[in-house]
Amino acid sequence: MKMVVAPAPSDEELALALQAAVAAPDHGNLTPWRFKLIRGENIQKFADLGITIRQRSDNPFPEEKVAASRQWLSEVPLIIAVACHIDYSNTKIPESERMLSAGCAVMNMMNALNALGYGTFWSTGIATYDDEFQAALGFDSLDYRFMGFLAVGTPKVAIPKKERKSYTEFVEEWTGK
């Protein structure tokens, strides 16, 4: 649910969701997930930073996309920026597994927030893949893989029921033949 508004989860609810994140499967106990909480007036700073960097890039947004992004973020009460930490001291667990683990942590957190009645939206938009943006959020690209940000809040409208593909399209029996 992209369109979320105040109220954000309480500190107690947020603590529950963040603790759920830490229960993600984690090969080698590397705890690769990292989160930055961005709230209140800092969301405006986040929007300004991301949009400024995006507009300086070789792929700037058209003006209406700038306005739409600003409008969206002006209503979001909580952003959780997410990253995977690369611990170079461990050479056994491949980066792909660390990224998967961090992704599982994010999903655990989303499930917990959704169960508490909040809406969440995982985005890699605006300036997510720009080094300067990542570094400004505290996730320099040498030590972290920035994975985007979650918008969290109360759904602005009732979450519509969405038709999903049948799982049978993605499952088959393996018999060893």
Ligand X SMILES: Cc1cc2nc3c(=O)[nH]c(=O)nc-3n(C[C@H](O)[C@H](O)[C@H](O)COP(=O)(O)O)c2cc1C
| Closest C-alpha among 102, 54, 110 to residue 82 | 102
Query: What's the length of the chain?
Result: 177
For residue 162, state whether it binds ligand X (rule: CB under 6 A).
yes
Alpha helices in 22-94 (DSSP H): 41-56, 63-75
Q: State the minimum distance, in angstroms, from the CB of residue 104 to ligand X.
A: 12
The answer to whether the beta carbons of residues 79 and 152 sit under 8 Å apart is yes
| Closest C-alpha among 101, 78, 81 to residue 90 | 101
Q: Is 52 annotated as a binding residue?
A: no
- Residues numbered 109 to 128 that lie near ligand X (CB under 6 A) are 121-125
For residue 148, state whether it binds ligand X (rule: CB under 6 A).
yes
Q: Which residue has the tokens 């507009």?
A: 55
β-sheet bridge partners, residue 159:
none
- Residue 15 or 159 having the CB closest to ligand X: 159
- Residue 121 or 133 having the CB closest to ligand X: 121
For residue 165, state whether it binds ligand X (rule: CB under 6 A).
no
Q: Is 122 annotated as a binding residue?
A: yes
- Residue 15 or 95 having the CB closest to ligand X: 95
Q: State the minimum distance, in angstroms, from the CB of residue 162 to ligand X.
A: 6
β-strand 33-39 against 119-123: which pairing, if any?
A: unpaired
Residues that bind ligand X (CB under 6 A): 121-125, 148, 162
> Which residues carry a binding-site annotation?
27, 122-124
> Which residues carry a binding-site annotation for FMN?
27, 122-124
